[in-house]
Amino acid sequence: MKIEVPGNHLMIDLVGQGDELLHQVEEAFSDVHILVRGNVITIEGSQAEQAGRLFKELLLLLERGHGLDAANVNRSIEMVKDDVSPSEVLSTEILRSARGRLVRPKTHGQKRYTDAIAANIVTIGIGPAGTGKSYLAVALALQSLQAKEVNRIILTRPAVEAGERLGFLPGDLMAKVDPYLRPLYDALYDLLGVDGASRLMERGVVEVAPLAFMRGRTLSSSFIILDEAQNTTPEQMKMFLTRIGFHSKVVVTGDVTQIDVAAVRSGLVGLEEVLRDVDDVAFVRLSRRDVVRHRIVADIVSAYERSAGSSV
């Protein structure tokens, strides 16, 4: 198989500094021989078709203005092996942050997650740390607000005492629960900037509050995100899901391997069985392959998965 690369600049970006990205592809497809001569890439071997499709997808990304590095080439390799188009996944635009950075899904799992949120009233995203569950949900909430599909955003988490006692923390109730809500503030500040997020919160357009504050309310024309849902009780989960009003969208995120509630059952465990016959509810499971933090995070998740499997 031969692939012609239109232009020296694209070839340099495609193979990487010191052919770093080319070597990465060769390691991923062990049964191929790749020869680069001028603007032509020649691929031979039993995996030549897959490797050729990868190079075509990487060229499409470069032509659309994407930069290539070891991380997104590795994700592209995984997608091609799963018969998924990297150029389609990585070119999806959700939002431009206050600093001008485009927020996009970076894996096939993240694309399935964002598509599910767009298509359903309630989406439950389950997966390990670092898979972008909360961050992408906040980005999609801001996108819906900008498009005037909703009038407000509500971000909530259960305030679980993970080793600390709330009563010993200084300040009033909101000051006590504020540390539990900090990851949601961090996502807002990253996407909107501190000033932009503060203005929306002062106007009540964005509300960040502990889950207990949702009781007795009807949440209409809102984009509502329940984060760390593995730390709800079944009663809290039912309370939350029955707050949904007209013209609202809900995203529930959680990681069933990080349950901090003691002596009670998690409201996230078994939820799919409860809601399986309810229309407009989607469950999306993310895995270590969707981790987009430092590589070591995916390795740590894998190590814990192996440890859990060996102890069964």
Q: What is the pLDDT of residues 92-133, one digit of tens each?
A: 999 998 888 889 999 999 999 999 999 999 999 999 988 999
**Could you tell me which residues are beta bridge partners of residue 126?**
254, 285
| CB-based contact 197:145 (threshold 8 Å) | no
> In this structure, are residues 291 and 301 in contact, taking their beta carbons and an 8 Å threshold?
yes
pLDDT of residue 263: 54
- Residue 166's pLDDT is 45
pLDDT digits (tens, 9 = 90+) for 138-163: 999 999 999 999 999 999 988 764 43
pLDDT over 60 (residue 55): yes
Mean pLDDT score across all residues of the chain: 88
pLDDT higher than 60, residue 284: yes
Domains within the chain, CATH numbers bracketed: 2-90 (3.30.1370.10), 95-310 (3.40.50.300)
Long-range CB pairs of 47-50 (<8 Å, 24+ gap) are 48/1, 49/1, 50/80, 50/81
Supply the pLDDT for residue 169: 44
Are 114 and 105 spatial neighbours (Cβ–Cβ below 8 Å)?
yes
Query: Is there a contact between 290 and 107 (Cβ–Cβ < 8 Å)?
Result: yes
- Sheet of 222-226: strands edge to edge? 206-210, 152-157, 222-226, 249-254, 122-126, 281-285
Which has the minimum average pLDDT: 26-30, 42-46, 290-294? 290-294
Angle among Cα 166, 172, 175 to the nearest 5 degrees reads 70
In this predicted model, what pLDDT tens digit does every residue of 268-278 receive, in sequence order? Answer: 999 999 999 99
pLDDT band at 50 (very low <50, low <70, confident <90, very high): very high
Does residue 176 surpass a pLDDT of 60?
no
- If one compares 31 and 293, the residue with the highest pLDDT of the two is 31
Q: How confident is the model at residue 294 (pLDDT cuts 50, 70, 90)?
A: low
pTM (2 d.p.): 0.84
Q: Would you place residue 177 in the very low, low, confident or very high pLDDT band (cuts 50, 70, 90)?
A: low
Residue 144: what pLDDT?
A: 97
